[in-house]
Amino acid sequence: MSVSKGVWSKFVKRSPTLALRNKALRTALLSPDLPSGPVSLKSKASKRKYQSIEGLDQIYPLAYEVLEKRSEDIYSKIESLDKNSPTYAEQKEELEIAAEKFNPEVVYMAEYMKNSLDRTQPVFRHYLKKTWEGYSKMLLMQRLETLAVIPDTLPTLEPKVEVKLKFPHNNQDRWIEPGTLLSSNVTKMPPSLEVIEFKESTGDLYTVLMVDPDTPDLAQDSYSTTLLWGVKDVKLSNTDSMIDAKKLMQNEDCEFVEYLPPVCEKNTGKHRIAFWVFRQDGPLENAPKGLRREFFKIRQFVEDNKLTPVGAHVIRTLWDRNTENVRKMYGLPEGRVFTRERVPYLKN
């Protein structure tokens, strides 16, 4: 017997992705008690000894009814919105979130099935944003600030999207935490990025820059920024958010500066490698193919192209015993070796 008698079990106007796919789980959430035991528990022993909360089966249908009624009211409010109003889309999204936020099926998916959420639905974007703001966003900002990526590359960042990064160096599918120290073996191939938008997005264009602000500049007795990778005009949406080799192979114009792995010279310390993700106004014009990598002025580039920084990521690398092999792979000359003291005859 289902507890749902109203809008939450009708899928004429609502997306079917708001319902749980797993039938056993769905019946468990839509019935007062657990008709086939606790489905989410794995082992037989824990299933057998599991006891549900006393009295929950009596109060749950009432609670469901109250929330479903509220949701129905909100859906009728959406119907009565003025479609010509300039804030119509915003209001509608807000109400759609409010209408589905307490739906037990949605709550279940948002809590336990974070990797397979339908990001075209405002509720799921809302829940994803909340989780991101709770940890990853703060972590990213902390790493950017402590490593001084802000303001060494760009003045500041107000993150709007979540940027996830991984390298294809082995079979393990693992996202890299901002600030991790990676070996040259890991970074030898171009990474894949996932750009998760929390607003409704259908075919927005993005630019990605990968820069190394720690390249030694002996003439100035300072450091300079090197552009390691430049990708432009990548079309992303809520359903398709990956920037990977497959996508770049399909649109060859996207990669305006080809990938060059960070090959640090010996004794230059740890290099910060910053990834910046920008939202574009339109197609990028001031980014010619084969742009000069050395002495890259990132602030100038951003200003010229009217780019809005929306996300970032940072990793670190340093010279290791594999760096020379990577240099050979990409046909680069042997790297310099820096010493503690600047000796004149070693300058050349």
Partner 1 sequence: MFGAARTVQKSGANLQFVRTKRIRAGLDPVAQRVVTQLSVISANRKMPKMLKLSKEDFVKHVTVMRAWGVVRKEKKQAEEAQLKQQYESIKEANEDLKHVSQKLFEAANKLEIGKRFPLELRVPTEYPSRSGWFYDYTPRKL
Q: Return the H-helix or E-strand segment holding 209.
A: strand 204-217
Shortest reach from residue 59's CB to partner 1, in Å: 6
Please say which residue, 64 or 319, places its beta carbon nearer to partner 1: 64
Which residue number, 63 or 346, has a Cβ lying nearer to partner 1? 63
Whole-number minimum distance, CB 34 to partner 1, in Å?
A: 7
- Given the complex with partner 1, which of 104 and 179 has the nearer CB atom? 104
Q: Kindly tell me the sign of the dihedral angle through the C-alpha atoms of 339, 321, 178, 189.
A: positive
Residues that bind partner 1 (CB under 8 A): 25, 28-29, 34, 38-41, 50, 52-53, 56, 59-60, 62-64, 66-67, 70, 102, 104, 107-108, 111-112
Distance CA 154, CA 133 (A): 22
Sheet containing strand 204-217, strands side by side: 181-182, 308-317, 271-279, 204-217, 222-236, 255-257
Helix (H/G/I), strand (E/B), else coil: 228: strand
* Shortest Cβ 228–partner 1 spacing (Å): 43
Residue closer to partner 1 (CB basis): 62 or 181: 62
Residue number with CB closer to partner 1 (48 or 270): 48
Q: How far is the CB of 96 from partner 1 (least distance, A)?
A: 18
Rounded to a whole number of angstroms, the minimum distance from the CB of residue 107 to partner 1 is 5
- Least distance in angstroms from the C-beta of 54 to partner 1: 11
C-alpha distance from residue 339 to each of 75, 104, 131, 346 (Å): 69, 63, 46, 9
| Residue number, 50 or 295, with CB nearest to partner 1 | 50
Question: Toward partner 1, which CB reaches closer, 42 or 340?
Answer: 42
Sign (positive/negative) of CA torsion 235, 237, 243, 247? negative
For the CB of residue 294, give the shortest distance to partner 1 in the complex, in Å.
54
Q: Letter for the amino acid at 131? A: T
Helix residue spans in 113-252 (DSSP H): 122-134, 136-146, 149-152, 245-250
Q: Do residues 312 and 277 lie in contact, with contact meaning Cβ atoms separated by under 8 Å?
A: yes
Work out the angle at residue 77's Cα, subtended by the Cα atoms of residues 75 and 78, and round it to the nearest 5 degrees.
Answer: 65
